[in-house]
Structure 1
Amino acid sequence: MTRVARTVVLHFHPGWAHSGGTVLDAIAADGRYRSQWLTGTSNGGLTAHPGGQRWLWESRLFEGRYDDGDPAARPVYGAWNRRDDPYGAAPRFGSAYFRLRPEVLERATFCWPDSVYAPQAVGGPERLAELCRLADAGLLDAALLPAAAADLPLDDPLNDYVEAHVHGGVALADDVEAVVVDPSDLAASGGLLDGLGVAVETHPGYRINADDIDEAYRGIVPIALARELGREVTPALLGAAQRSGHHDPQAVKWLWHCMARFGRTWEATG
């Protein structure tokens, strides 16, 4: 099981497709966690190009620091695990995560809410306590949100995180304390995980059936996909479905959101 700790975590989907293999294959081969600017993949929007939305908000957030530089120098995105959650700080972005070493904190910046909403609450580690208090207070007072996030439902745990930006790159050998994965992904990719050169841990796990999903959350589309997959869905099974290319990518993404929202096994079993 995982050793929870307040630290920066970087989420990802280990079994999802990337460059002819999986995301985990690419990370293992490279020895680094790369940003969307280099991978061309995202568990959010794909706007990492000059003039795109990510370019614009990074220009504002980092005061033009990266506007004309090498995309490889741009920060990677994660979240601060302010609740010591074994599932990580921002499961919207993946069933697995890298838990970074404490010293990485010195070159991280943070904001609340997500940078896509043009937050004013931005700063380095010296502002973390303030940002965490603001995030907690925002659960009860929507007036604390910036205008762009006025309709953001913070009672949904997939939206409730303090975003982190790690500057200067993330090398597995130097910056990662452990990789934390779903038990189903450990069974599917254990050998590759062992080759990363970092501690391998598991969280309690996700699983979901179509009947577990509230249709009001993401509509009927992910429920239909869960029924099509025909059995209890785990992150490893969803990864295989995503890699097959036989399913609507948006449906896969929404089914993951439903699993992350309703499929925590420790909540199902008490």
Structure 2
Amino acid sequence: MSTPNSDDRADARSLLSLAAVRALAHVRAAGLPGTAPQAPITVNFHPDRLLADGRPVSAHLAAEGVYRSQFETRISSGALLAYPGGDRDRWEHHMFAGAYTGVTGRPIYGALNLAGHPDGAAPRFGSCHLVLRPSVADRATFCHGDSHLQPTAVGTADRFGAIRQALLDQVATTGAALGVTAHSPQSWQAGLATAKHHPGRTLDDYVEAQLHGGLTLRDHVTAVVADPSFIGTPTEADLRTLGIPLHWHTGFALPADAFPADLRGPAVPPLARDIAARFGSPVLDAEVIGRAARAGDDPQLIKYLWHLLVLLGRPHTGR
């Protein structure tokens, strides 16, 4: 991990609430010695989902320059579990030893992009992602896998040993981790450093990151990487006003009649065909699925459509 300068460290300290300090200290104490490899934290999100006032996420980001947690936005890529007494509240209570009990400001969730996947480290959570500055890792906690599973391999950037060992054990057992296949832990580590030109499609295989102390685009983000289905849309216009570089990954596109019933249930294929008919698009992509989400289609089925698009979609070639 690169070493932040003194100004970065002072900035990080000034952002931390007492709850964040306690949460970081608790996870650091549970971690094992070892420094995290140099890699950016990415925060995947759907830029075209609507907030309570009817404006999309991209418009709020453009207007405020602040990325907010689910506790504040009240939106989710599936079921909304972030509310007092909800599942996310209970998971955070367990992971951070109650540090955030009764506190409004909560961690921002992302993932450590150790493999350098162009679609971000955790594309299940969105078609676009923010690339964070290295300095924010000083105020992040990490776990192997998703925190809702209450993982035991946790740590911080300077206490990363348990997570590293969990990844190596995963490779030894399954032959892959973080979307990188290998015949040995040594070849896997070499594979992490190989430049990636194709999406990682890592729906369930990531090192989750919890960023404590807030996230502003101007101070903490180096780039936004977007799905090309948004080119020429109001979403692109919003993203271009964020004041940070905008890049595009290869995107995902899949014919509506190619969505299978055996991966996310039998209700998904007919919904894909219905969306194609309603919006006049025989091929579904992130932008078309977003239109269906804004039209009020079942959020859980929309989430499943997105998962299948990530798993099976071909590179987006435009309309």
Change (3 A) 1:17 1:132: farther
Match of 1:102 among 126, 131, 134: 134
Aligned ranges 1:122-141 → 2 under 5 Å: 122-128=154-160, 130-135=162-167, 137-138=169-170, 141=173
Rounded to whole Å, the distance in 1 between the matches of 2:304 and 2:158 is 35
Query: Cα–Cα, structure 1 residues 185 and 121, in superposed 2: closer, same or farther, change >3 Å?
Result: same
Q: Who is 2:50 aligned against?
A: 17
Aligned residues of 1:75 and 1:167 also touching (Cα < 8 A): yes
Q: What are the Cα deviations for residues 38-81 of structure 1, in whole angstroms up to 9, with x where unaligned?
A: 11112244222222221121112112221132x12x11000011
CA distance in 2, matches of 1:75, 1:264: 33
Alignment of 1:235-246 (within 5 A): 235-245=286-296
**AA of the residue aligned to 2:236:** G
Deviation at 1:35, TM superposition (A): 0.4
How many pairs align? 247
TM alignment of 1:89-168, pairs within 5 A: 89-128=121-160, 130-135=162-167, 137-138=169-170, 141=173, 157-168=202-213
1:48 aligns with 2:82: yes
SS at match of 1:215: coil
Gaps of 5+ in 1: 143-155
* Matched AA of 1:252: I
Q: SS of the counterpart of 1:58?
A: helix
Q: Distance in 2 between matches of 1:114 and 1:60?
A: 13
Q: Distance in 1 between matches of 2:147 and 2:156?
A: 14
Distance in 1, Cα, partners of 2:56 & 2:63? 11
Alpha-carbon distance in 1 for matches of 2:262, 2:135: 42
Q: Is the 8 A contact 1:182 1:202 kept in 2?
A: yes
The answer for unaligned runs of 5 or more in structure 2 is 1-37, 175-200, 277-281
Q: Render the CA deviation track for 1:213-235: whole Å, top value 9, x for unaligned.
A: 33211122221122112210111
Shift, 1:93, TM fit: 0.3
Are the equivalent residues in 2 in contact too, given 1:186–1:193 (CA < 8 A)?
Answer: no
Amino acid at match of 1:263: G
Quote the Cα distance in structure 1 between the aligned partners of 2:203 and 2:290: 19
Partner SS for 2:158: helix
Q: Hey, what does 1:248 align to over in structure 2? A: 298
In 2, the alpha carbon distance for the partners of 1:166 and 1:252 equals 27
Paired residue for 2:230, among 185, 188, 208? 185
Aligned mates of 1:248, 1:138 — CA distance in 2: 35
> What's the C-alpha RMSD, in Å, of the aligned pairs?
2.1
Whole-angstrom CA distance in 1 between matches of 2:217 and 2:275 = 34
Amino acid at match of 1:29: A
